[in-house]
């Protein structure tokens, strides 16, 4: 264990202790709660924060793009608590045995500026992304949905399936990935949860007859995972994989036939499927549907599309949910992240005294 991490019983020192949730402790926490319960409770937190959307500072994520991928910061505040997430997206990482997406996040008290939580967010991002997809589907899909197709069976797929079942009761899955090994992995992981799973031979076969279609691919380019003929009336789409400029999953004609719902329109115009459309093409922010200010699905024959790119309020909700679950250090360690001398004007003196 690194010297900078201290147990709860650590003697006071010239530092302010911040609860830190490691990857190991995040896994312990999720397993202790139960993954489907965790997803359902997290979805409730996300939905509650969507209902108070006007309370948040909102800005598109700050992105640094490269040929290899993107590194982003996602900040927000509700006036009492500030939160941010650092996250990358590097589609080629899997070839070297690394994750496509990794992340960590922080909450801080607005009144003092002092952090109150530092956490891993690679696992937590997967959980909150799936929970958000399920919230959108609950508000936009037909009420009688029974089946779901997942196109792209990588790191996010199992979370998506479990979240939609936790909120909508969907147990019938059709899986497809261009890499059969990814589908085999996904099927193996989900089989222990009692899903009725079909392994499809093509994307076309996977989506045929599905009530919900979730695309969660990682290729950083304009791609056509779904063509117009693959989507029919009454279906709901969660387009999750397209989340940066130049990265899409759906043919433009699908967008023109769909009622489109987004998180934060200024960000989605840059990063989402709707980057393919004119800037004045009508979309609805999801929070307005959740808050009762706008209609979602208007008829059973509508095609509804949640153009998901991920937004900072969802990370804020996830971090706040985790903070409440820490149970007095059971799933965290204290990290001496901040220098906090007895005399706030004598930072140098603190340094000198530490040598004695």
Residues with a known catalytic role = 243
3-state secondary structure at position 180: helix
Per-residue b/e over 43-78, b at no fewer than 16 CB within 10 Å? bebbbebbeebeebebebbebeeeeebbebebbbbb
H-assigned helices in the chain: 23-33, 35-51, 122-140, 157-168, 180-191, 203-207, 252-257, 265-271, 286-290, 312-325, 347-353
Please tell me the distance from the alpha carbon of residue 94 to that of residue 103, in angstroms, as a whole number: 16
**163 in Cβ contact with 47 (< 8 Å):** no
3-state secondary structure at position 88: strand
**246 in Cβ contact with 221 (< 8 Å):** yes
Please tell me the distance from the alpha carbon of residue 289 to that of residue 292, in angstroms, as a whole number: 5
Q: Which of 91, 309, 308 is nearest to 212 (CA)?
A: 308
**22 in Cβ contact with 333 (< 8 Å):** yes
226 Cβ contact partners less than 8 Å away, ≥ 6 residues apart: 151, 203, 207, 213, 215, 237, 249, 250, 251, 254
Eight-class DSSP state of 304: E
354: tokens are: 């530490």
């Amino acid at each position: 264990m690194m010297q900078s991490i201290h147990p709860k019983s650590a003697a006071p020192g010239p530092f302010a202790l911040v609860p830190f949730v490691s990857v190991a402790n995040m896994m312990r926490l999720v397993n202790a709660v139960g993954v489907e319960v965790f997803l359902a409770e997290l979805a409730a937190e996300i939905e509650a924060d969507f209902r108070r959307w006007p309370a948040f500072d909102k800005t598109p994520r700050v992105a640094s793009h490269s040929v290899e991928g993107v590194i982003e910061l996602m900040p927000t505040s509700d006036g009492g608590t500030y939160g941010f997430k650092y996250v990358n997206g590097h589609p080629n990482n899997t070839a070297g045995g690394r994750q496509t997406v990794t992340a960590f996040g922080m909450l801080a008290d607005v009144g003092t500026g002092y952090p109150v939580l530092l956490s891993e967010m690679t696992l937590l991002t997967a959980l909150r992304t799936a929970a958000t997809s399920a919230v959108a589907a609950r508000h936009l899909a037909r009420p009688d949905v029974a089946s779901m197709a997942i196109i792209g069976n990588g790191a996010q797929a199992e979370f998506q399936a479990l979240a939609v079942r936790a909120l909508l009761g969907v147990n019938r899955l059709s899986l497809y990935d261009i890499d059969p090994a990814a589908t085999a992995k996904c099927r193996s992981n989900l089989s222990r949860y009692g899903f009725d799973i079909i392994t499809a031979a093509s994307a076309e076969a996977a989506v045929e007859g599905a009530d919900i279609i979730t695309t969660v691919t990682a290729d950083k380019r304009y791609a056509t995972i779904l063509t117009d003929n693959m989507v029919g009336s009454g279906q709901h789409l969660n387009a999750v994989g397209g989340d940066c400029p130049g990265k899409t999953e759906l043919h433009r004609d699908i967008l023109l036939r769909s009622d489109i719902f987004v998180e934060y329109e200024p960000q989605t115009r840059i990063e989402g499927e709707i980057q393919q459309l004119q800037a004045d093409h009508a979309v609805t922010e999801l929070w307005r549907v959740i808050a009762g200010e706008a209609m979602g699905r208007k008829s059973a024959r509508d095609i509804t599309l949640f153009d998901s790119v991920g937004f900072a309020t969802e990370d804020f909700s996830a971090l706040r949910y985790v903070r409440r679950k820490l149970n007095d250090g059971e799933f965290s360690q204290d990290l001496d992240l901040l220098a906090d001398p007895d005399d706030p004007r004598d930072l140098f003196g603190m340094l000198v005294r530490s040598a004695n």
